[in-house]
């Protein structure tokens, strides 16, 4: 899908800022911070749900973990597809093609509907699925209650992500952040009311937790659609215009780009799930310590993940402008910002490693002292883990801006499974390093994956390659960045 850019000659002769790296740094940070805070808001909502469900008891908390495992496996499939909205819309914006921006969002919403309907129905059979995978019937039945409420959150959740990607692609990610910040207290109040039967609501417990999440997701999606329809600068793109008009060429382009992203997400999710199973074979304290260290990593990961999404947009916009040097500057600026941030956070975690684990455990917890000691050690061993984890997600993001997703899928299989899982198992059991060996193996896998992604981006951009822009061949009116789309584009 990549070819030498015939339009490079024009871009190379264009004026170059006196300090392109400094200018790109400013633009990347400006775009990334609202996206990163939105991701942290998502984590805050999930943490709130778990804290409230945990008040129902250990069995309810364990069942919620099972339910979210089933839901998340389905969710990442659609998340990969709608992630392709960002590079498609960003390239349309960079090329000043407003119709392509609108079409990119439209096919993302289509894909969410087409995939979401069967996967939503599948969630309603969660109890059967969990029993088939060897879970205890009582735990599966309790998880099923949660899933019945959660199942309907798939499509609105994907739609919100697609709209958020569109907002970022046109350099206006802030509304998604405000929506998320408003949703956090609403989610807490609604979940509390439905779980425990407060404020006149029925006591629905696990079912109530799922219903609350679904209602909040629908509300977030509805507000995001209204903003795109009624508020500047989004309304000039007329994102809901001709929504039902078929656009199969761009739809299949979205699938070609997005399906490998989904595959890479599943490979990553799978290897960490497998690592948890390996920890469980060693012991309960080891599994608990692993979960504490991994949850710490997940919170830190949200910032480079936000930088990754911003990098997809910045690289995509440069591709849309036909500016190959700018794609290279955008990509390596984002990678550098992510590496510096994760190095700083790693140092902070290393210095506070003995204070973090007690936040997740009560003093009365069984084996609390052993769990805290091991978690502290894993947090120290995770120094390189955290840095490589940040670099790999940004590396994947910059390549998505180039529409390069199939080769990174192969890299994910190599890094996460051929190297990561194999080494984790080998160090933990045959070599006898236990829990530390699993983390060392995962770190090696992340190192290999991150290195391959950075090498791939360097190789493509050093050669002056740019992807063919979907829809670039259309005789589409251009977008005047100061005055909006021309009148003839509004159709």
Kindly report the pTM of this predicted structure: 0.82
CA distance 313 to 29: 12
Nearest to 176 by CA among 45, 35, 82: 35
Closest CA to 367 of 433, 309, 282: 282
Hey, what's the torsion of the CAs at 373, 375, 380, 385, to 10 degrees? 160
Separation CA 326–CA 321 (nearest Å): 9
Residue 275 CB neighbours (<10 A): 24
Q: How far is CA 15 from CA 313, 315, 325, 481, in A?
A: 21, 18, 12, 18
CA 6, 308, 359: angle at the middle one, nearest 5? 175
Q: What gap in Å lies between CA 82 and CA 159, rounded to an integer? A: 8
Contacts of 347 (CB under 8 A, 6+ apart): none
**Nearest to 359, CA basis, from 295, 285, 282:** 295
SS3 state at 122: helix
Question: Contact at 8 Å (CB) between 233 and 481?
Answer: no
The two tokens of residue 419 are 């190297």
pLDDT at residue 370 in the model: 77
Helix (H, G, I), strand (E, B) or coil at 485: strand
pLDDT in the model for residue 484: 37
Dihedral sign of CA atoms 401, 443, 288, 140 in order: positive
Per-residue confidence in pLDDT tens, the chain, 491 aa: 444 443 333 443 344 454 778 888 888 888 888 888 888 888 888 877 777 877 777 677 777 777 877 888 888 888 888 888 888 888 888 788 888 888 888 889 989 999 999 999 988 888 888 888 777 788 788 888 888 888 898 999 999 999 998 888 888 888 999 999 999 999 999 999 998 888 888 888 888 888 999 999 999 999 999 998 887 887 777 777 676 777 888 888 889 998 999 999 999 988 988 888 888 788 877 877 887 888 788 888 888 998 999 999 899 889 888 888 889 999 999 999 999 999 998 899 888 888 877 776 654 455 577 778 888 888 888 788 889 999 999 999 999 989 999 999 999 999 999 999 999 999 999 998 888 899 999 999 999 999 999 999 999 998 877 776 655 444 333 333 333 332 233 22
Maximal C-alpha separation, the chain:
70
**Residue with token string 């005055």:** 483
> Residue 143 contacts by C-beta under 8 Å, 6 or more apart in sequence?
63, 64, 66, 67, 70, 126, 127, 130, 135, 206
Dihedral sign, CA of 458, 459, 463, 467?
negative
- Distance, in Å, from the CA atom of 26 to the CA atom of 231, rounded to the nearest integer, reads 26
- The two tokens of residue 305 are 């993940």
Per-residue pLDDT at 361: 61
Q: 108, 161 in Cβ contact below 8 A?
A: no
Q: What is the pLDDT of residue 124?
A: 86
Angle at 249 between CA 248 and CA 252, to 5 degrees: 80
Q: Where are the domains of the chain?
A: 30-246, 257-471
> pLDDT at position 487, please?
27
How far is Cα 400 from Cα 84, in angstroms, rounded to an integer? 8
Query: Rounded to whole angstroms, what are the CA distances from 127 to 133, 142, 147, 277, 476?
Result: 10, 8, 9, 21, 50
pLDDT of residue 96: 83
Q: Helix, strand, or coil here: 468?
A: coil
Query: Which candidate, 208, 70, 46, places its Cα nearest to that of 140?
Result: 70
Cβ 194 vs Cβ 208: under 8 Å:
yes
Q: What is the model's pLDDT at position 178? A: 93
H-type alpha helices, 199-358:
206-230, 248-282, 284-320, 324-351
């Amino acid at each position: 899908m990549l070819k030498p850019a015939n339009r490079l000659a024009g871009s190379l002769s264009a004026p170059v800022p006196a300090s392109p790296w400094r200018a790109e740094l400013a633009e990347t940070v400006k775009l990334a911070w609202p996206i990163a805070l939105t991701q942290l808001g998502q984590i805050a909502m999930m943490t709130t749900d778990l804290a409230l469900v945990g008040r129902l008891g250990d069995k309810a908390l364990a069942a919620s973990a099972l339910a979210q495992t089933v839901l998340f496996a389905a969710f990442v499939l659609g998340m990969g597809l709608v992630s392709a909205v960002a590079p498609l819309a960003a390239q349309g914006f960079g090329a000043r093609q407003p119709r392509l921006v609108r079409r990119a969002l439209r096919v993302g919403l289509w894909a969410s509907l087409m995939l979401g309907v069967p996967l939503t129905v599948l969630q309603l059979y969660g109890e059967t699925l969990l029993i088939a995978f060897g879970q205890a019937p009582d735990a599966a039945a309790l998880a099923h209650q949660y899933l019945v409420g959660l199942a309907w959150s798939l499509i609105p959740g994907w739609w919100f992500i697609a709209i958020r990607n569109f907002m970022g692609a046109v350099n206006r990610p802030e509304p998604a952040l405000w929506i998320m910040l408003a949703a956090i207290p609403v989610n807490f109040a609604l979940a509390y009311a439905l779980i425990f039967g407060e404020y006149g609501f029925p006591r629905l417990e696990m079912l109530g937790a799922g219903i609350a999440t679904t209602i909040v997701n629908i509300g977030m999606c509805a507000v995001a659609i209204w903003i795109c329809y009624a508020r500047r600068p989004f309304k000039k793109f007329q994102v809901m215009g001709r929504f039902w008009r078929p656009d199969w060429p761009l739809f299949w382009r979205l699938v070609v780009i997005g399906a490998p992203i989904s595959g890479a997400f599943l490979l990553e999710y799978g290897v960490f799930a497998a690592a948890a199973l390996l920890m469980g074979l060693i012991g309960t304290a080891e599994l608990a310590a692993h979960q504490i260290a991994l949850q710490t990593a997940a919170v830190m990961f949200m910032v480079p993940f936000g930088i990754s999404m911003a990098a997809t947009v910045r690289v995509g916009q440069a591709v849309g402008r036909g500016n190959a040097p700018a794609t290279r500057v955008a990509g390596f600026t984002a990678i550098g910002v992510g590496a510096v941030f994760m190095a700083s956070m790693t140092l902070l975690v290393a210095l506070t490693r003995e204070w973090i684990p007690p936040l997740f455990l009560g003093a009365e917890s069984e084996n609390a002292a052993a769990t805290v000691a091991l978690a502290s050690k894993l947090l120290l061993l995770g120094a390189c883990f955290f840095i490589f984890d940040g670099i790999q997600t940004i590396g994947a993001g910059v390549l998505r801006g180039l529409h390069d997703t199939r080769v990174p899928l192969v890299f994910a299989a190599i890094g996460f499974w051929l190297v990561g899982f194999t080494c984790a198992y080998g160090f933990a059991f045959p070599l006898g390093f236990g829990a530390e060996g699993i983390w060392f193996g995962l770190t090696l896998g992340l190192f290999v994956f991150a290195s391959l992604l950075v090498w791939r981006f360097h190789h493509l951009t050093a050669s002056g390659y740019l992807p063919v822009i979907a829809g670039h061949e259309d005789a589409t009116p251009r977008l005047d960045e100061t005055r909006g789309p021309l009148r003839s584009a509004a159709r």
